[in-house]
Chain A
């Protein structure tokens, strides 16, 4: 998480300091206006591609209450840094494999870009719906100041972007990641009736997971990995090894997340866990459309001071993700 963020945020902050970003908002505003949103949402979405928590903080630049709430609630549709690696890994293993070998890289890259674009489409659609339903009565006022271009103050900008964005986000991630590690270790090592808690949960979730074209392991991984999207794939690998009898001895032991030595090894593990192309497609969709990580949820609460909007921002993407995965799976099975 740290390296992309340490590159992305300073560069973006430099553009901001230069006076260029308001011009982006100015030119894109007509698109956002149709969705009932503010042109500056283009910028907070961009920050969201770095980190959704930082994107939610960035919505402070939107001074109209309704449009700001829209930007906060829909920021999660920006594929954040914690989810890009998941998308790239799964696309290279499963999507790329469908295409001829020399096109594999191109096809999987296109799939990842497609998911990111789908996120943008979903952002526009949900902004449109929100501004016409639950947020209809919120106060709104548009104005956009276009400050003159200025030479950026490079060192100062680098410093503030490190402190304001990267470090604050990292610190919050640490606070939430430690309890998550503990929970993952506990459910894998506490045994009830001879098998671990994790296996029980996976068994319960499996029928539901299969209905969605996913499986119990993935759903459990998304529940325990709420603190950070980065640990979804390691958790899936660990749980897959834990519950698949053929894989005993692989990995680092119960409750220890690991990343396989190579993409090939990861592919072997996942296929042994019963993954198909459909599972991969649904995982990519669900990775885009699911609840924000706990850091982001906490940030949303701090920014809105409202349990109601925090709940909407958390539950809306999950509901959309479950629906989309369900529909894709059923149609796929109907046609396949």
Chain B
């Protein structure tokens, strides 16, 4: 018979070994896939996109920035740049590399596919927001131009990606947008969020946890070197400067307010009722469609009917049907309280 201690030891080694191979993002397998994915075509497309993005931001792409962006050495970056010039995608100007007409077209195609795929992930799948960018980074090289057009048609030819960036048209037209960074927003005014930068992932994740969302309003209370003090939905909080620089906003006319505390369905106790004002933008994809299908649209009167054994989920009377929602779903539906006497035809 096999010695049990030895057997357990071998088992532990096997488990640790398997984990090291298949661990997501860090395992040997994940790295191998990442390595084979980076074919020359992918690197070239990424480099062209980087030059384009640098131009769009009004700066110039340098060897160092390219090397940093693609995670390669400066030597390899210079080889890559030479190859791009050979292909006629990039010309070396006085200040640095400049895209040629072909290069711009190629970059816009990659950007279009990237943003379309983000739109798809946001609208049609349950992929969490922090993962959209990484997945789109892969897909932008895998879809052909025709496939991208089929995808665009399925999504109803969207103009914006879920972060608030415009999607270039199939003809290669990119609307010129002046983004105002939140760091530059004047104190005492109210702003509307127009764009949330999705890179780096950690900062984007932090912004999402703060509850920032496209279309959301912020009242700038005070600002200093370390960051901004803002109020949204009746809550005051701090956004550090590094996070704020990743948020773009539109300053609203004087007198517009961020609004006080908003009430949602989740605030209703059994027996209370509210009229739907809107759906939070955090409610997206199939979830949003489901709520709309059930008739959760502005003006619908919803009353809380009963709570389950643990208080979550709660059952709500919506247009004559008793439907249970979980707490976070109920939290997406903003309401105005109405007197319970409003009867819904059932």
Q: Is A142 close to B, CB under 8 A? A: yes
Do residues A334 and B1 form an inter-chain contact, with CB atoms below 8 A?
A: no
**Contacting residues of chain B (56-99) with chain A, CB-CB under 8 angstroms:** none
Q: Size band of the B side of the interface? A: 35 or more
**Contacting residues of chain B (128-147) with chain A, CB-CB under 8 angstroms:** 128, 131, 135
Q: Is A333 close to B, CB under 8 A? A: yes
Q: Which chain A residue lies CB-closest to B322? A: A146
Do residues B286 and A141 form an inter-chain contact, with CB atoms below 8 A?
A: yes
Q: Is A261 close to B, CB under 8 A? A: no
A19 to chain B, nearest CB (A): 10
Q: Given A29-B313, A144-B313, are A139 and B329 also a contact pair (CB < 8 Å)?
A: no
Known: A33-B312, A138-B126. 18 other contacts (CB 8 A): A26-B308, A26-B313, A27-B310, A29-B308, A30-B309, A30-B311, A39-B313, A136-B128, A137-B127, A139-B124, A139-B125, A140-B126, A143-B290, A146-B315, A146-B322, A146-B323, A147-B322, A211-B2
A 71-109 to B, binary, CB cutoff 8 A, 1 in contact else 0: 000000000000000000000000000000000000000
Do residues A210 and B323 form an inter-chain contact, with CB atoms below 8 A?
A: no
**Contacting residues of chain A (130-153) with chain B, CB-CB under 8 angstroms:** 133, 136-148
**Contacting residues of chain A (234-283) with chain B, CB-CB under 8 angstroms:** none
Q: Is A330 close to B, CB under 8 A? A: yes
**Contacting residues of chain A (19-33) with chain B, CB-CB under 8 angstroms:** 26-27, 29-30, 33
Q: Is A326 close to B, CB under 8 A? A: yes
Q: Given A29-B308, A211-B2, A334-B5, are A137 and B131 also a contact pair (CB < 8 Å)?
A: yes
Q: Given A27-B308, A139-B285, are A144 and B324 also a contact pair (CB < 8 Å)?
A: yes
Number of interface residues of A (CB under 8 A): 32
Q: Provide the bound-state CA to CA distance between A27 and B312, in Å.
A: 8
Q: Which of A29, A65, A138, A145 contacts B323 (CB 8 A)?
A: A145
> What chain A residues lie within 8 Å of B321 (beta carbons)?
145
Q: Is B8 close to A, CB under 8 A? A: yes
Do residues A144 and B323 form an inter-chain contact, with CB atoms below 8 A?
A: yes
Q: Given A27-B309, A29-B308, are A333 and B4 also a contact pair (CB < 8 Å)?
A: yes
> What chain A residues lie within 8 Å of B131 (beta carbons)?
136-137
Do residues A142 and B8 form an inter-chain contact, with CB atoms below 8 A?
A: no
Q: Is A68 close to B, CB under 8 A? A: no
Q: Is B29 close to A, CB under 8 A? A: no
> What chain B residues lie within 8 Å of A142 (beta carbons)?
287, 313, 325-326, 329
B44 to chain A, nearest CB (A): 28
Q: Which of A133, A143, A145, A330 contacts B7 (CB 8 A)?
A: A330
> What chain B residues lie within 8 Å of A140 (beta carbons)?
126, 286-287
B 291-309 to A, binary, CB cutoff 8 A, 1 in contact else 0: 1001000000000000011
Do residues B5 and A139 form an inter-chain contact, with CB atoms below 8 A?
A: no
A210 to chain B, nearest CB (A): 7
